[in-house]
Amino acid sequence: MSSRQDDRTTQCKRTTRRLVTLIGVLAAGNFFSYLLFFILWQPSQFVEVRGTSSSIGFLPYVKDSMLSLSTIDSNIEWRQPYLHEDVLARQLGDLDSDTPFPIFRGDPDLYTYEVLRKFPHDPSAFTQGLLFRPPDTLFESTGAFGGPSTLREVDLVTGTVRKQVELPGIYFAEGLTYHDDKLLQIFWRNNTGIYYDPKTFKSLGTFQTPLSDGWGISVVDDSLVVSDSSTELHFIQPSTKDEGTLRLLHSKTIRDGNTKIRFANELETVKGEIWANVLERECVMRINSKTGEVVGWINLSGLSHNLDRGTLRPGVLNGIAYDAEGDRIFLTGKNWANLFQVRIIRENRTSLDTVRHICHPANSLPQYGYP
């Protein structure tokens, strides 16, 4: 028999096997059968089936072409898809391009809260930045329209302002953080910041950021992280010199899926994540500090209903402080009469679309001058 006849005979056998497979697929009528038929019909292609949810179970990873049903067991390697880990423990690095199963980032996790304790808080404080220092101290940055902004040391339990400094009227105070045994305070629509001695509140000099606006500030891996109303988190090299200009290292876009998120306000670092208030939303977003990905939404709707009555009209939620030693989260807001210690709880009763509707910021805030 000639070589050409051999080829025709082989092709007829393959076509017959495919037709038999097609008949079996039509009879079975299920998804796996269609998938199997697709693989058999294209034997020369490398096929990879990616899992997208831990609920799928095990999916086939086809490591070679399959020419008959009899070889299916030897040509399928069963692998488990990436399991969605607890977002506090998840630290994503750069992906290996050769990895057949790239890390599945998935949808952000959803959280609610439980109020554990309620503390007094000065209702005249227009809270813009908040820090906890053990054992019982809060440092607070307050802004003011028509009055002086302040830096304060506050007793956590009693809410008493132990000491404060008032700032010149040219400064509207925003975020506050602690680095290299100094307090760093930044200002709205200004690239200037001030270093303070945390014990005396004496100014230790000023610094300039490479940004034109300052909202929230925190520290991750010895870098300053600053928000400026945009969709970016800016990672800045801190300077130990007075009057120094800080160097921009890189920026990460804040994303929830394909949506870029603006208006990250007060920032706090919690176990490697960046937690951010969203201006005019009763929510905190949990951001992967390495990627900018929103890995969780904390829906804090109704927290202000727990405020003591008979005080000034409260403003928006703003102010996150974390006690790393005691693993405690504290929250407050602008002109709130209380500060709350809360427990963050995973929840699955509310749909992601609903939480996004509640938590995603407006596209613009013209009332603040941000079109």
Question: What mean pLDDT is reported for the chain?
Answer: 80
Q: Encoding tokens for residue 73? A: 């067991």
Are the beta carbons of 190 and 171 closer than 8 angstroms? yes
pLDDT digits over 144-184, tens only?
Answer: 877 899 999 999 999 999 999 999 999 999 999 999 999 99
Q: What DSSP state is assigned to residue 337?
A: S
Is the residue at 227 inside a domain? Answer: yes
Asked whether residue 208 falls in the same domain as residue 293, the answer is yes
Q: Cα torsion for 349, 351, 355, 357, to the nearest 10°? A: -140
d(CA 339, CA 317): 11
d(CA 321, CA 227): 17
| Residue-level pLDDT at 76 | 31
Is the residue at 95 inside a domain? Answer: no
Cβ partners under 8 Å of residue 43, min gap 6: 65, 66, 67
Asked whether residue 229 falls in the same domain as residue 326, the answer is yes
| Residue-level pLDDT at 15 | 54
d(CA 360, CA 285): 9
Domain boundary among 79, 97, 126: 79
Asked whether residue 155 falls in the same domain as residue 33, the answer is no
CATH number at residue 358: 2.120.10.30
| Residue-level pLDDT at 18 | 56
Asked whether residue 251 falls in the same domain as residue 341, the answer is yes
Asked whether residue 130 falls in the same domain as residue 52, the answer is no
| Residue-level pLDDT at 146 | 78
In this structure, the strands spanning 338-346 and 109-120 are antiparallel
Tens of each residue's pLDDT in the chain, 371 residues? 444 455 555 555 555 555 545 455 445 455 444 444 444 444 333 322 222 222 222 223 222 333 333 333 333 333 233 233 333 333 333 333 333 333 435 899 999 999 999 999 999 999 999 999 999 999 999 998 778 999 999 999 999 999 999 999 999 999 999 999 999 999 999 999 999 999 999 999 999 999 999 999 999 999 999 999 999 999 999 875 555 689 999 999 999 999 999 999 999 999 999 999 999 999 999 999 999 999 999 999 999 999 998 667 899 999 999 999 999 999 999 999 999 999 999 999 999 999 999 999 999 999 999 99
| Residue-level pLDDT at 12 | 52
| Residue-level pLDDT at 211 | 96
Sheet holding 283-288, edge to edge: 264-270, 273-278, 283-288, 294-299, 109-120, 338-346, 328-333, 317-323
Domain boundary among 58, 79, 100: 79
Domain boundary among 57, 79, 101: 79
Asked whether residue 57 falls in the same domain as residue 201, the answer is no
Are the beta carbons of 142 and 127 closer than 8 angstroms? yes
**Does residue 81 have a cis peptide bond before it, meaning omega lies within 30 degrees of 0?**
no
Domain containing 272 equals: 109-365
| Residue-level pLDDT at 83 | 30
pLDDT digits over 266-305, tens only?
Answer: 999 999 999 999 999 999 999 999 999 999 999 999 999 9
Is the residue at 328 inside a domain? Answer: yes
Is the residue at 88 inside a domain? Answer: no
d(CA 163, CA 17): 84
Asked whether residue 230 falls in the same domain as residue 294, the answer is yes
Crossing angle of helices 3-28 and 31-41, in 10° steps, is: 170
Asked whether residue 282 falls in the same domain as residue 206, the answer is yes
Question: Domain count of the chain?
Answer: 2
CB-based burial, 61-88: b 16+ in 10 Å, e otherwise = bbeeebeeeeeeeeebeebebbebeebe
Is the residue at 99 inside a domain? Answer: no
Dihedral sign of CA atoms 142, 144, 147, 148 in order = positive
Q: What phi and psi values does residue 280 have, to the nearest 5 degrees?
A: 70, 20
Is the residue at 370 inside a domain? Answer: no
Is the residue at 371 inside a domain? Answer: no
| Residue-level pLDDT at 280 | 97
| Residue-level pLDDT at 147 | 81
Asked whether residue 192 falls in the same domain as residue 236, the answer is yes
Asked whether residue 62 falls in the same domain as residue 125, the answer is no
Is the residue at 141 inside a domain? Answer: yes
Asked whether residue 167 falls in the same domain as residue 270, the answer is yes
Asked whether residue 321 falls in the same domain as residue 202, the answer is yes
